[in-house]
Structure 1
Amino acid sequence: MKRAELEIEILAWIAQTSWRPDPARFERLALSLFEFQYGACEHYAHLCRSLKRIPATVSRSDEIPPVPTGAFKEFDLRCFAERETVLTFRTSGTTTDHRGRLHLDTLALYEASLLASLRKNYLSDLTGRRATMRFLAPPPEEVPDSSLTHMFETLRRAEGSNQSRFDLREGRLDVEALGAAIDRARRDDLPLVVAGTSFAFVHFLDAVEAGGGGEGWQLPRDSRVMETGGFKGRSREIPRETLRAMIAHRFGLAETRVVNQYGMTELGSQFYDSTLVDPDGPRRKLAPPWTRVRFVDPDSGDDVEEGEVGMIVIHDLANTGSIAAIQTADLGRAILDARGRRIGFDVLGREMGAEARGCSVATDIMLEASGDGSVE
């Protein structure tokens, strides 16, 4: 199946508002996408051949070789000509850091996927209401290669009011502008959508505390907050449960109104906490049906028992122009209901050294197989 045909089918799936699992559909599309990516990305093909997992011998999606996220720092893993690149996202870090890269030749599938998940799990009842949104993140003109900022900007354009703004500019969090937006929302009795990075929320909480705290930060009813990303040395680190409780307290919200997003630059889809759409159920990450999340033994690569802790591997059909199967450096486990059926998953944190090990193995295989001592 050609890539264009695959994308038409995947876009049609994403457009469906019901998120009923369709394992047969996923398997068919995943295997077809694997065949395309194997033929279009030579670095990936080297890895697959070395592992003796090629389209002719792979019959299930869980046999498709995943690429460690660290390999995106070493190779340009694209399935199209370099000249066709329209946007490149880079993992966080300074300009001198060796950063991972996701190259895109189209934004259609990428933006369709991110909006579908946001509307389903974060906006939910606010979809189409043009709520005011405030982002504790730098604007697109400052970080054009940030996938997170691009996501916020895409959301702002699609669903935000004309008063939606980015409140982190030139390295400074504009607490006063955020406070004014909250005052206006309270005065108009309209919900406010606040989203940002974990380290930006820590800076916000510290700034408010230094200013004497107070009750002026309480958000109107139906408001919500989303935090994402780690700290990466840019603020003091706070356990996620503690940070969630602190954010909820400062904004006068129930903790169910504060959700975490799990995503990464190398993926085209994201995963959100369930508490806005299922406030009475256990907090867990919800996976779009065009993705599949596995938990594997980091040494053997085999799936662990359902509910046991393993390395997270994500198969994302929205990643047509790159590599769909990604091995993360994170540990997680499936969340099961009373009947033992998976209803979501939890992210438990990083396994120390996992990315470096996975990247080293993948890089060595790709270089050895290609007979080339250089990387792009």
Structure 2
Amino acid sequence: MKEHIFNIKSEKEFTEVTLSIFKHQFQNNKVYRSFCDLLYIHPSDVKTIDEIPFLPIQFFKSRQVLSSLEPVEEVFTSSGTTRSITSKHFVTDIQLYKESYLQGFAHFYGSIEDYVVLALLPNYLERKGSSLIFMVNDLIAKTNNQESGFFLNNLQELTKKLIELDKKGQKVLLIGVSFALLDLVEIQKFNLKNTIIMETGGMKGRRKELVREELHQILQEGFGVAQIHSEYGMTELLSQAYSKGNGIFETPSWMKILTRDTEDALTIQKTGKTGGINMIDLANYNSCSFIATQDLGKVHNNGTFEIIGRFDDSDIRGCNLMVL
């Protein structure tokens, strides 16, 4: 079943593969099995995607969420304060992650070899275990272009490079965390014609949080671009969704977003209603493909989605019974 994940061509095929992976993870993932048992849900009762239980993302902080007995090849960890407990994603097949982000990028942006990738991710570089750094490092290598690379605090050097490459007509992807992109446009106003600006979210405590519209407006004016792109991913996922503007995200064919009722975590809502984001990521074959995140959002009729905010811990109603 693993080999079919990245070849899904239809909704029917997605459903078949998803139900098969649910059965596999129910049988092979002790944490997920305990969770399903607690809810009295068995694969024989599940006929549609909406009936699959979604594991609260907090379990990645307290358990080894694994559906495989293979050796762990990588452990990805979330960022957090010194006091907070971080999530850990134990990855037994790093090739699945590579295939996911390479095919996902190619689907939305074309060949990575057409780009110079410049990465402005200081807070991620300052710690170990970031799945984002792993992905971007590999994308940089895959460009086969010596101009690609990471930047930490050397914003003047990055400014010079951005202007030079853009003037040459080189396609550039600048991927950065929000606060660092804001730092950059404060020291230089750009007028870029061949560069994609992609933010990965979050001020990470470095600046006052801004609503997306305000952040994107400042960045659009600062970089001289019509749209700000966004990447949506997390430690607990092996796939990414991308937005090419206005905060509207699309998923690759092996991902699907559903929303759950904010008052009843086990009820899946119809499209168009704001709710908790539930994520199906079939690339999580060896961990758990069905995750209830702490993000709030809305799914549109065409399958695109937007992120509206986050639950406070006190607001995660209906999940209390799910702490094993």
What TM-score, normalized by structure 1, do the two folds share? 0.79
Please state whether the residue corresponding to 2:304 is helix, strand or coil: strand
For residues 115 and 65 of structure 2, what CA distance do their matches in structure 1 show?
37
Amino acid at match of 1:228: T
Structure-to-structure mapping, 1:115-154, within 5 angstroms? 115-121=102-108, 123-124=109-110, 127-138=111-122, 142-154=126-138
Partners of 1:50 and 1:189 in 2: CA distance: 57
Q: How does 1:162-177 map to 2 (within 5 A)?
A: 162-168=146-152, 173-177=153-157
Distance in 1 between the 2:212 and 2:262 partners? 24
Tell me how far apart the structure 1 counterparts of residues 47 and 149 of structure 2 sit (CA, whole Å): 48
Q: Is the 8 A contact 1:70 1:355 kept in 2?
A: no
Choose the corresponding residue for 2:160, options 168, 180, 185: 180
- Do 1:133 and 1:160's aligned partners in 2 also have CA atoms closer than 8 Å? no
**Cα contact 1:143–1:149 (8 A) shared by 2:** no
Alignment counterpart, residue 86 of structure 1, candidates 73, 85, 88: 73
- What corresponds to 2:278 in structure 1? 313
Cα distance in structure 1, aligned partners of 2:90 and 2:102: 19
Contact 1:31 1:61 in 2 (8 A): yes
- Give yes or no for contact 2:173–2:196 (8 Å, CA) kept in 1: yes
Of residues 220, 227, 232, the one that matches 1:262 is 232
The match for 2:305 among 303, 328, 345 is: 345
Larger Rg: 1
SS of match in other structure, 1:194: strand
User: Within 1, Cα distance between the matches of 2:146 and 2:283?
Assistant: 29
8 A contact 1:144–1:150 mirrored in 2: no
Q: 1:88 to 1:287 in 2, by over 3 A?
A: same
User: SS at 1:307's partner residue?
Assistant: coil
Runs of 4+ in 1 over 6 A off after TM superposition: none
Q: Which amino acid counterpart does residue 218 of structure 1 have in structure 2?
A: N
Q: In the TM superposition, what is the alpha-carbon distance from 1:135 to its structure 2 partner? A: 0.4
Could you tell me which of 17, 24, 27 is aligned with 1:39? 27
Question: Please, which of 192, 199, 206 is the counterpart of residue 227 of structure 1?
Answer: 199
1:10 aligns with 2:5: yes
Query: Which structure 2 segments of 5+ residues have no match?
Result: none
What residue number does 2:57 align with? 69
Match of 1:333 in 2: 298
CA distance in 2, matches of 1:137, 1:71: 27
The yes-or-no answer on 1:249 pairing with 2:221 is yes
Mapping for residues 281-320 of structure 1, pairs under 5 Å = 284-300=248-264, 301-320=266-285
- Find the partner of 1:218 among 187, 191, 195: 191
Name the % identity. Answer: 28
1:48 to 36, 46, 49: 36
**Whole-Å separation in 1 of the counterparts to 2:248 and 2:83:** 36
Per the TM alignment, residue 328 of structure 1 is displaced from its structure 2 partner at its CA by: 0.9
CA contact (8 A) 2:247 2:307 kept: no
User: In the aligned structure 2, how far is the partner of 1:360 from the partner of 1:153?
Assistant: 38
SS of the aligned residue for 2:279 comes to: strand
Shift of 1:142: 4.9
- Equivalent residue, structure 1, for 2:47: 59
**Cα distance, 1:354 vs structure 2:** 6.0
Q: What is the CA–CA distance in structure 2 between the aligned matches of 1:244 and 1:71, rounded to whole Å?
A: 33
Are residues 272 and 294 of structure 1, via their aligned partners in 2, closer, same or farther at CA, if it must alter by over 3 Å?
A: same
Q: Distance in 1 between matches of 2:82 and 2:135?
A: 21
Looking at structure 2, the residues matched to 289 and 362 of structure 1 have their Cα atoms a distance apart, in angstroms, of 29
- Structure 1 residue 113 displacement after superposition: 1.3
8 Å CA contact retained: 2:295, 2:311: yes
Deviation at 1:98, TM superposition (A): 0.5
Q: Is the 8 A contact 1:202 1:235 kept in 2?
A: no
1:347 corresponds to which letter in structure 2?
I
Match of 1:369 in 2: none
The size of the alignment, in residue pairs, is 323
What TM-score, normalized to structure 2? 0.91
CA distance in 2, matches of 1:290, 1:354: 32
